[in-house]
Amino acid sequence: STKTKMKNSVVTQPRGDAAPLKINFVGVTKANVKQLQTLNLAIFPVRYSPKFYSEVVLKPEHQNIIKLAYHCGNLIGAICCRLEDNDQKDLKGQHRVYIMTLGVPAPYRDHGVGSVLLQAVLEWLEAENAAAAENGKPKPFSDMWLHVQEGNT
């Protein structure tokens, strides 16, 4: 279900002396997927295939778990997740959310950009689970997971 709306903007809570930033969340579209591709090329050592980007854009069920973060019109971070079936016996019918990428360019780290991206997705998942529970339905999402690259700082 995609009935729960995410906030469109938020102010970050940075660490240390970093300044708070006003972030606008935007979904990935055919019009801005090249910006995501450029961002990923700049911050990740892995090169993602065209299939990664076509799947990001073309899967409507991912629209609330893939977000771009803009500050003053510049793309400064992104989170890309996908839904996976949960094969644990007691969680059949629920989805796991896999974080494929979560990245922020070096100049914007410590400003809380990654945190607000992750929080936005978590809030949407929690709202969807709460809405299902209110309607007497099972929670659609069981958990969220990711792989971390060794040496990632």
* Catalytic choice (48, 62, 70, 147): 147
From residue 108, how far is each of 9, 42, 47, 120 by CA, in Å?
17, 13, 21, 18
Three-state SS at 137: coil
Instruction: Quickly tell me which residue has 């993602």 as its tokens.
Output: 48
48 labelled catalytic? no
Closest-CA residue to 66 (of 90, 102, 17): 102
* Catalytic choice (48, 62, 98, 108): 98
98 labelled catalytic? yes
Three-state SS at 149: coil
Render the burial of 68-91: b for 16+ CB within 10 Å, e for the rest.
bbbbeeebbbbbbbbeeebeeeeb
Q: How far apart are CA 77 and CA 39, in angstroms?
A: 8
Catalytic residues: 98, 147
